[in-house]
Structure formats: C-alpha cells, structure tokens
Amino acid sequence: MAEIPQSGGGGGKGGKKRAKKMSTKIDMTPMVDLAFLLLTFFMLTTTFSKPTVMEINMPVKPKNDEEKSEIKASNAFTVLLGSDNKIYYYDGLLNNDSKPELKESSYGADGIRKELLSRHTNPNLVVLIKPADDSNYKNMVDILDEMNITDQKKYALVDISKADTELIKSSGL
C-alpha cells in the first residue's frame, strides 16, 4: 500500500521555512503475490496438448512360405509416389504380360482421395503404396492420411520395382 511518511518540523532557528519533501513508497508484495497466484492458477488449469499420432499395426512375419498369399490383379490398386510431389496410380499389378495405364493425380480431395473412394465398393481391395527413392517423406505421410480418411482396410508399403520406375519414366507424365 502507498505510504507517505510525515516527519516533524524542518525549521531550525530562524526565519524561513523550507517546503517538506514528501517521499512515496509503494509496497510491491501484494502485486508479486497476485502474479504468482495467477501463474499457478493457469498452470494447473491448462490442459496439455498431446501429440496426435497415427497407429500403424505391422503384420507378423509368416513362419513358413505357405502362409504368404498372393494378391489378385483385380483386387490390387497401386499408388506410386514420385519426385516433385507427384503421385501416380494404376489398377492391378505390373507384370511382364501387360503394361497398365499409368495416371497422374494430386494429393487433394479431387485427386487420389476421389480415386480411392470410387474403389471402396471392392471389400478385397489392397492398395499398394510404392514410394520412389526421390519422393518426399511428407508425401508418404499424406498418402497414409488418405488411407485413414478413406477408411481403407488393407494397404501396404512396398519397395518400388525397376519396372515401376521405368513405367513412370516412359509414361511422360
């Protein structure tokens, strides 16, 4: 609280009286207490944000070769992640007999999401995600987000083959 000290006389022996100098003194203790109370209150009432993460369940490695199952070409949808934030896709599997039609898309709602949703009628659909060596990590996270958004049940991250790389180069997209 503010306090103005009063001192007795300033006179001396004779004539002139000097004006008294008043000094003010402010006690800062209550303001510091209030600041610490506010700081403590906000620290205790704030909810700490937890980082949001995507849960990925990795498959168990089969004990023998008989447990491995092959994917039918009619149930496969292949997504290729290229350089410069490009994404390509084709239906089926790439084999020596036929060359699939490679199409370019985007990461937006009108791009790969629309294609994934159009194939949602096939319950046995397996999406094969093949990131190229020069693709971005962000693009891989984006396509995994699209798998989550479109509620794809089966998808796999697969190493890109030389045939897929050559398909991207020969397509001219």
Kindly report the CATH number assigned to the domain that includes residue 103.
3.30.420
Residue 105 belongs to a domain: yes
CA–CA dist 124, 154 (Å, integer): 8
Domain span at residue 112 reads: 73-171
Average pLDDT over residues 47-76: 71
CA dist list (Å): 156 to 25, 43, 131, 140: 73, 43, 11, 12
Residue 51 belongs to a domain: no
Are 110 and 161 within 8 A, CB to CB?
Answer: no
**pLDDT of 5:** 61
pLDDT at 63 over 80: no
**pLDDT of 13:** 60
pLDDT at 98 over 80: no
Task: Work out the pLDDT band at 7, boundaries 50, 70, 90.
Answer: low
Give the contacts of 163 (CB within 8 A, at least 6 positions apart).
94
Residue 21 belongs to a domain: no
CA–CA dist 9, 68 (Å, integer): 105
> Which residue carries 């000097």 as its tokens?
18
Residue 78 belongs to a domain: yes
Residue 30 belongs to a domain: no
> Which residue carries 């410069």 as its tokens?
84
Split into its structural domains, the chain has a count of: 1
80 strand-pairing partners: 88, 130
Residue 154 belongs to a domain: yes
